[in-house]
């Protein structure tokens, strides 16, 4: 990659070549384990507030919340109860002082004039720690239930819409007045005050060819998919090449569930227990949300096979020592700029991660200049 493309400075370790480590907040009931045997996560603000404060105490760099409007049901009523992403992150920004606070907004649900002000407000509440996770939308049922699914706007067209959306928001964050006429949004002498002190951090999870180019051209970071170091390395290299092609530095992150036990055996037993309690009905609800129900249900494929483990993301399972080794390999071989973490039990596992895993990762990936834990 060309060394002329330097990362924008956001007060995080990747500014200087270190690794950003954050936590995906459990603002929906059930967290990311589809199982009757998982630890109780009710998705409440109280649960998330405690998790956020533990995350800050542990020394992670960011916390992020998804946006979800319809759950997957099943016996566990998985994700049926969810908090609003931006409102929740505003509360968590008030409850913390150092950790970056990133909220999610769906481009097809919020007008850019509204979204720009929401994130600018979050930025003021957090003292400059705000970030925006942009989602272009792929869950038809989730949006059609409220009459908000844009019929005829396919996958690539949703990125055309997203280009108009994020460019409008960036202008509203920095210019006195914005006039922008596009196929999806029209702004006429549109004003948005107050402005953020500096542009908030932006991230997207577009891994298609068009999605990756969108992220490279418009965002500060991208979430990549991949459960092995080799898969991540391939995705990371592709994303970095696309970003280099457009003359920008794009941070790359992966998402990983961390199952911590005192021993490898204890952690594996925990994972086996989740698998034994797998909620088939919730999987069916998930597949319906993805529009896969008619074609795929009853057929075993990579998606369903992975989901039947009970986990909704790639995972690392083991003792603190084992988890540290696996994370080091994932970051070293994968080459990503960081990782967003999920825990089956946030309250129990975040403190263990903070004391027994994170210090070793900081030492292993110090960056060009030793980046402090919170920038």
So what's the pLDDT on residue 307?
A: 77
pTM score, two decimals? 0.94
Give pLDDT tens digits for 194-208.
999 999 999 999 888
- In angstroms, the CA 357 to CA 351 distance is 10
So what's the pLDDT on residue 152?
A: 85
Helix (H, G, I), strand (E, B) or coil at 317: strand
So what's the pLDDT on residue 297?
A: 44
Report whether pLDDT(375) > 70: no
CB-count burial class (<10 Å; 0-12, 13-18, 19+) for 118: buried
Helices (H) and strands (E) in the chain, counts: 14, 11
Give pLDDT tens digits for 275-334.
999 999 999 998 888 766 544 445 556 666 777 889 999 999 999 999 999 999 999 999
Report whether pLDDT(370) > 80: no
Q: How confident is the model at residue 373 (pLDDT cuts 50, 70, 90)?
A: very low
**DSSP for residue 295:** H
Q: Would residue 152 be called left, alpha or beta, if left means φ above 0 and alpha means ψ between -120 and 50 degrees? A: left
Pick 132 or 299 by higher pLDDT: 132
Q: Which of 145, 160, 99 is nearest to 126 (CA)?
A: 99
Could you tell me if 168 and 134 are in contact, meaning their C-beta atoms sit under 8 angstroms apart?
A: no
């Amino acid at each position: 990659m060309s060394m002329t493309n330097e990362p924008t400075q956001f007060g995080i370790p990747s500014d200087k070549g270190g690794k950003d480590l954050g936590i995906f907040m459990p603002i929906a009931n059930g967290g990311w384990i589809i199982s009757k045997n998982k630890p109780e996560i009710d998705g409440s603000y109280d649960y998330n507030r405690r998790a956020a404060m533990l995350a800050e105490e542990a020394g992670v760099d960011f916390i992020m919340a998804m946006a979800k409007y319809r759950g997957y049901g099943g016996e566990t009523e998985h994700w049926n109860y969810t908090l609003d992403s931006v409102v929740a992150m505003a509360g968590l920004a008030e409850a913390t002082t150092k950790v970056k606070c990133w909220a999610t907004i769906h481009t097809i649900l919020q007008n850019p004039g509204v979204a720009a002000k929401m994130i600018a407000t979050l930025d003021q509440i957090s003292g400059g720690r705000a970030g925006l996770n942009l989602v272009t939308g792929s869950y038809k049922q989730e949006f059609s239930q409220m009459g908000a699914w844009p019929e005829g706007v396919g996958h690539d067209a949703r990125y055309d819409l997203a280009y108009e959306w994020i460019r409008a928001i960036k202008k509203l964050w920095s210019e006195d007045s914005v006039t922008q006429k596009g196929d999806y949004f029209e702004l006429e002498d549109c004003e948005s005050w107050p402005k953020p002190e500096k542009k908030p951090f932006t991230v997207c999870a577009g891994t298609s060819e068009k999605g990756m180019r969108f992220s490279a051209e418009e965002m500060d970071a991208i979430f990549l998919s991949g459960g092995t170091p080799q898969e991540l390395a391939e995705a990371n290299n592709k994303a970095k090449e696309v970003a280099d092609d457009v003359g920008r530095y794009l941070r790359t992150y992966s998402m990983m569930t961390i199952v911590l036990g005192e021993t490898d055996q204890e952690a594996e037993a925990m994972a086996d227990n989740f698998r034994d309690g797998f909620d088939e009905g919730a999987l069916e609800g998930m597949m319906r949300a993805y529009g896969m129900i008619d074609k795929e249900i009853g057929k075993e494929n990579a998606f369903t096979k992975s989901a039947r483990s009970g986990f909704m993301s790639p995972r690392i399972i083991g003792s603190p020592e084992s988890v540290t080794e696996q994370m080091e390999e994932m970051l070293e071989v994968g080459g990503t700029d960081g990782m967003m973490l999920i825990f089956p039990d946030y309250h129990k596992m975040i403190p263990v991660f903070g004391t027994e895993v994170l210090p070793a990762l900081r030492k292993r990936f110090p960056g060009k200049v030793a980046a402090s834990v919170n920038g």
